[in-house]
Amino acid sequence: MTQIMLQGMQIFFLFCAALCVLRFILGPSTPDRLVALNVLSGVTLGFLVVRGVAEGRVLYLDVALVYDIFGFLGFLAIARFLRDKLTGKGDE
């Protein structure tokens, strides 16, 4: 039963991730793409954690932890870069 539930949650997170990627590709404007990227990062984190518990290995959880931290930093950098590009600041 436990394995069935964990498998179902993995499939569900993969489904959500696929829909987020679709939104990321279709998104008509830049904020839409950023929203899709934000949701996608959270969904991927959840998938990694569920996968780690389903396999019973600690390695996936370490990867999820580092993915969370660096994903946040990368997201911050992307948002900052896009904002500077839009407002014309940061050219000096």
Chain positions contacting another protein, by CB under 8 A: 1-2, 5-6, 8-9, 12-13, 16, 19-20, 23, 29-32, 34-36, 38-39, 41-43, 45-46, 49-50, 52-53, 56, 58, 61-62, 64-65, 68-69, 71-72, 75-76, 79, 82-83, 86-87
Burial (CB < 10 A; 0-12, 13-18, 19+), residue 26, is exposed
> Tokens 């948002």 label which residue?
79
User: In whole angstroms, how close is the CB of 92 to another protein at the nearest point?
Assistant: 19
Burial (CB < 10 A; 0-12, 13-18, 19+), residue 8, is exposed
User: In whole angstroms, how close is the CB of 46 to another protein at the nearest point?
Assistant: 4
